[in-house]
Amino acid sequence: MGVAATVADLLALALLVDVGGLAPRAANVPALVAGVLVQFLGNKLVAFRDRSRDWLGQGARFAAVEAGAFVLNAVAFTVLVGALPYWAARLVGTALVYFLYSYPLWGRVFAGGRS
Ordered by start, the domain boundaries in the chain are 2-113
What CA–CA distance (Å, rounded) separates 39 from 102?
A: 10
Q: Average model confidence (pLDDT) for the chain? A: 90
User: pLDDT tens, 18-62?
Assistant: 999 999 989 988 998 899 889 899 989 998 888 888 999 999 999
**Stretch 86-111: mean pLDDT:** 91
Burial of 31 (0-12, 13-18, 19+ CB in 10 A): buried
Reported pTM: 0.67
Task: Assign 3-class secondary structure to 35-60.
Answer: HHHHHHHHHHHHHCCCCCCCHHHHHH
So what's the pLDDT on residue 106?
86
What CA–CA distance (Å, rounded) separates 27 from 14?
A: 9
So what's the pLDDT on residue 112?
62
What CA–CA distance (Å, rounded) separates 26 from 4?
A: 22
Longest dimension (CA), the chain: 47
- Specify the DSSP class assigned to residue 71: H
So what's the pLDDT on residue 18?
97
